[in-house]
Structure 1
Amino acid sequence: MRTFWWVAGGVFSAVVVIALARALAGQDWSVVGELAARDSVGLLTASLGAAVAGPVWGMLSWRVILLALGPPVGWIQVLRVFFVGFLAKYVPGKVPGMLAAVKVATANGVTAPRMIISGAVGALVTHLTGLTLGLLAAVQTLGDRGWWLVPAAIPVAVALVRPQWPIAAAFRVLRRPVPDVPDQVVRVSIGWQIASWLVSGVHVWLLAVAMGADPVAALPLCVGGFALATVLGVLAFVVPDGIGVREVALTGALALVLPLPAAVTVAVASRLVTTLGEVVLGGLVMTVVEVVRWRRSAVAADPARR
């Protein structure tokens, strides 16, 4: 059985690598040339840096929930569990990635129920904060007519004051037992996730500035627009990774500070930058994790090296 799982892990790893290569090959790389022609290589590089950094804060948001649901889990185990699922989303179909994430989790001391509950609560935090930050873009888009969107921020306000309420409501809708997650843990998770959205949204802002947008006017629009567009893309689960949905929503927001062709360029470049950033981040983290695990195994097997 151990040999079977070893072979299965190798096959799945190869599938993930192929899926990542296809994801990168399927991007519109012509936007790089368009940005380079504007002498914006520095902004493009900084945008990639923001895209790499953003998910790190998202991982921290999920980690505090995971740790609250059971015994301590070491950093190496947390990183391995999170980033396997992070990269597995590029594999066609949701089931293989979910099964792989659960299998890796159980192999690293995280039970399947704990993994599923932490993922569900984390997704709720991600969507609520993303939609709330999206109000920045929506209000700017609608101007004086956007006042009616203010109530949309109530769920996050409620989550900060009484974190168990939205969690309990969501799990009751799913007809699942309500998890016992301390209020302070949810508040910390919300804080990390908001930081993740802000850092990630900066990558769109840098691309928009590179295309000629006013830096001051574009900042809240880009941050909020990216958060809203990403959540809408995720909720459109019938579309793989929200492809198309995210670009349309983001283009609509960017069109307020850029001509439509430039807004489309930024939206397409955003997909390229975030995909490349996720591949770079995931690849680096998994490489470091496996090197650390290999060294620990070598030390454990050779008492003379202790």
Structure 2
Amino acid sequence: MTASRPWRLPRALVRALVAAFALVLVGAVAVALAGQDWSVVSVMLARSDGGRIGLLLAGALLISMAGLGFGYLAWRAVLFELGPPVGEPQVARVFFVTFLSKYVPGKVPGLIAATKVATANGVGFGRLMGTAALSMSLVLLTGLTIGLLAGVHMLGTQVAWLVAVATVLIVVVLVRPQLVNHGAHLVLRVLRRPDPARSASPRGIRFAVVAQGVSWLVTGLHLWLLAIAMGADPVRSLGLCVGAFTLATTVGMLTVVLPDGIGVREAVLTAALTVVLPAPAAAVVAVASRLVSTVGEVALGATALAVAEVAIRRSPASGPVSEPVSEPGPDQASATAPEPTAVPVPATATEPAPARSPAGEK
């Protein structure tokens, strides 16, 4: 009696679904780019010297991509803490497919695609959810902490105690990093998801906290360059722009009803930037920030996925990676089963047996 094997979709159907989702993802990204207000670029270029504004825009784009790169390092550190090692190309593929899936309408298709890509690249569903919960805890913690910088610039020195609160929060997490694990476990319980097989180590959490904090600080500089392009004072606007972008993006993440915090993020940025810019110029910078962030995310994601795909195909062990607990489906059983080999027979067994004596003969 043969053991029953889990049913799986045929390979041809799986490949067709993967190709269909890839087309949907490309289309969703194209729609997101087309839906941006590109007119702000001409508004900024017409304000002063076009060459100078062009350099500021290019610098803002590169800085935005660099900030996302530090965010990837933080997520990668958490992933490695919660399970066995995974190849670097596979990690990049899982992260950027999951990240770019936010442009696909609806949460369910993106979640299904991220889960299938993660499973095919050696990251189980429980580990993926654990990584997401822990990473989101770090993103919100560092985002709200650094975002308090904007409060000081917006409300004045009477709220300078916010800086002390931010400093204490970061120090507490660095001293007692296990608090982040507790927060992630609480998020998973609220979502009714199982806890990961193991928790992140204090060293791994500290690295992820630092990397995510650097990600916020670097990414916020793109808003600073855009504000300078619209006439803001470089010294006065530096801390405000970094804090405002971090706070606006974090608040947008908490507004789960709106995709990617559209509208909320721009409103917070515009309100904060009016401290250093007139309201119309502040609105232009807020819209330009969304444009630069979207283009940077798409450019870095597409580049990283292309490099990862080339690396995986050139790898000697290229091919789909399955979870350790999975078994080959019925359509794979015959292809993966080893061919029977001949069992060596002892030499004595090949010799003819002695003839029996007739009955009664000795």
Q: 1:117 to 1:290 in 2, by over 3 A?
A: same
1:262 & 1:2 partners in 2: Cα distance? 54
- Give the stretch that moved more between structures: 190-199 or 137-146: 137-146
2:167 & 2:11 partners in 1: Cα distance? 49
Matched residue, 2:263: 244
1:56-101: per-residue Cα shift (whole Å, max 9, x none)? Answer: 1000001111101111111101100000011111001111111111
Partner SS for 1:130: helix
- 1:26 matched to 2:35? The reply is yes
Matched residue, 1:304: none
1:84 & 1:276 partners in 2: Cα distance? 16
- 1:51 matched to 2:64? The reply is yes
Q: TM-score, normalization: structure 2?
A: 0.79
Matched residue, 2:99: 86
Q: TM-score, normalization: structure 1?
A: 0.93
Identity over aligned residues, as a percent? 52
Match of 2:228 among 204, 209, 234: 209
2:195 & 2:160 partners in 1: Cα distance? 36
1:209 Cα deviation after fit: 0.4
* Gapped regions of structure 2 (runs ≥ 5): 1-9, 320-362
The CA RMSD measured in Å over matched residues stands at: 1.8
Letter in 2 for 1:21: A
1:117 & 1:299 partners in 2: Cα distance? 27
Letter in 1 for 2:85: P
Counterparts of residues 34-73 of structure 1 (less than 5 Å): 34-37=43-46, 38=48, 39=50, 40-73=53-86
1:297 Cα deviation after fit: 6.4
Matched residue, 1:303: none
Partner SS for 2:111: helix
* Gapped regions of structure 1 (runs ≥ 5): 301-306
Partner SS for 2:225: helix
1:126-168: per-residue Cα shift (whole Å, max 9, x none)? Answer: 1110111101111111113314534355443321111112431
Match of 2:171 among 157, 175, 194: 157
* Structure 1 or 2: more helix by fraction: 1
Letter in 2 for 1:197: W
Letter in 2 for 1:172: L
Matched residue, 1:261: 280
> 2:64–2:292: 8 Å Cα contact kept in structure 1?
yes
1:245 & 1:294 partners in 2: Cα distance? 42
1:10 & 1:274 partners in 2: Cα distance? 27
> 2:130–2:188: 8 Å Cα contact kept in structure 1?
no
> 1:35–1:44: 8 Å Cα contact kept in structure 2?
no
> Which one has the largest radius of gyration?
2
- Give the stretch that moved more between structures: 137-146 or 255-264: 137-146
- 1:6 matched to 2:12? The reply is no
Q: 1:177 to 1:282 in 2, by over 3 A?
A: closer
